[in-house]
Structure 1
Amino acid sequence: MPLSAEDLLSVVRNYFRPDKDFNYRLESSPEHERFSKRWEQALERMDQWRALLRDIGRALPDFDIGNITATCDSCFRCATYPKNIIRPISSSSAVVGCLSILAPVYTVYGVQTTYRYTDKGREWTDKVFLYSLPAEMQARASIIARGIEAAFGAEALPREIAETRIPLIVEPQEPPDTTLFHALFISEPEKVP
């Protein structure tokens, strides 16, 4: 049975606060303690995650795949990048797969980075495609999605639920801008190594 926005809000309230009462304190908040415990449990599945990345790599031989999981976020995360990029590059793309550690949901999104070279060095801009990916990213996204579903039994988080605003702080996101996407996956999706 699919989870509702209310169900997911109830889950993420266990891990995030609506205030900054514990900022600059020596002790962690109860929510942060639960989040850390959740990651301890999730890391027991890291071998399963790595096996999935190997499978995705075999399915996408023209792309490099990286494990970009960070335990400050709420998900296992991977990204695929085109191989054999001609330098200097003017743009690059990454398709990112996220498997939440807080609920049995996942998402796949894209990031397009455009580079500009100036007398000050290289500058770039990122464009994030959370829900409608460009055509050149769709095949990769489909392979990642099918892999996560098969390996972990997770369901894709529907856009309308992902965009639900929540009254919690997921650094650096704060209400009214915080969404379930931020709490279940990552608060800064544009940050892709």
Structure 2
Amino acid sequence: MPTSAEYLLSVAQNYWRSDHEFDGKLERSPETERFQALWEEKLKGMAEWHVLLDELQAALPQFSIGNATATCDACFRCSVYMDRQPVYSNQEDEPLTRRQVVVGCVSILAPVYTVYGVQYDYRGEERIADRAFFDPLPPEMRAPAEVVARKLEARFQAEAVPREVAGTRIPLIVGPHEPPETTLFHALFTGWPESVP
């Protein structure tokens, strides 16, 4: 049975604020203190995360696997990079190419995970557009996304957060997101889903 939005919000409220009271102060908020202490604890388990990355590389040898974890986010993130593909362009300058990335996230706040996709468009080496995909993913992302989901679930005994729960609007400030735009996805995983190194 999926974890409820109410429960996940109650967890997120321990780590994210709904106001700007501590902005510009040297003192950190209690939420920030808890968040950073949790990351310190979770980083001790990085060996397990690296095992997952090795398992993904073995299961998906045709793709490049990366670690996209950033401690400003509330999750460990892995990335499955597909090769760049040409995109039709009627311009006479540098050709357009597209790269797709499947991203798997395991929250450090609750035993939940999600998988989503990102698409980058390039003109030469310059990134000119990006877009995050949730359910449904484009067809070419679905098979690697299923592998990532199975591996995350098995290795971390985590439960998938349904898209409708992840999209629940919450009254918290997470990264660049403020109410009413902030969602549980932002609080449990990342405020910057399109940003994958």
| TM bin (shorter chain) | over 0.9
Q: Which residue of 1 aligns with 2:91?
A: none
Q: Which residue of 2 aligns with 1:77?
A: 77
Task: Give per-residue Cα distances to partners, 1:34-80, cap 9 Å, x unaligned.
Answer: 00011111112211011011000000011010001000000000101
Question: 2:96–2:123: 8 Å Cα contact kept in structure 1?
Answer: no
Report the Cα offset of residue 88 of structure 1: 6.9
Q: What is the RMSD of the two structures over their aligned residues, measured on CA atoms?
A: 1.8
> Is 2:84 the partner of 1:92?
no
Pairs within 5 Å for 1:7-156:
7-83=7-83, 90-117=97-124, 122-156=126-160
Report the TM-score when normalising by structure 1: 0.93
Q: Which stretches in structure 2 are left out of the alignment for 5+ residues? A: 87-93
Moved runs in structure 1, 4+ residues, more than 2 A? 82-89
Tell me, what secondary structure is at the counterpart of 1:110?
A: strand
- The verdict on how the C-alpha distance between 1:88 and 1:47 changes in structure 2, with shifts beyond 3 A counting, is farther
Tell me, what secondary structure is at the counterpart of 1:90?
A: strand
Question: Matches of 1:138 and 1:14 in 2, distance apart?
Answer: 34
Q: Which residue of 2 aligns with 1:168?
A: 172
Question: 2:84–2:97: 8 Å Cα contact kept in structure 1?
Answer: no
Task: Give per-residue Cα distances to partners, 1:65-122, cap 9 Å, x unaligned.
Answer: 00010000000001011258789761111000000000010000001111235xxx83
Aligned length: 190
Report the Cα offset of residue 163 of structure 1: 0.6
Task: Give per-residue Cα distances to partners, 1:150-192, cap 9 Å, x unaligned.
Answer: 1000011001110110000001100000000000000010111
> Is 2:186 the partner of 1:182?
yes
- The verdict on how the C-alpha distance between 1:122 and 1:2 changes in structure 2, with shifts beyond 3 A counting, is closer
Question: 2:22–2:29: 8 Å Cα contact kept in structure 1?
Answer: yes
Q: Which stretches in structure 1 are left out of the alignment for 5+ residues? A: none
Q: Which residue of 2 aligns with 1:6?
A: 6
Question: 1:62–1:83: 8 Å Cα contact kept in structure 2?
Answer: no
Question: 1:149–1:155: 8 Å Cα contact kept in structure 2?
Answer: yes
Question: Matches of 2:119 and 2:84 in 1, distance apart?
Answer: 17
Of residues 154, 161, 177, the one that matches 1:157 is: 161
Report the TM-score when normalising by structure 2: 0.91
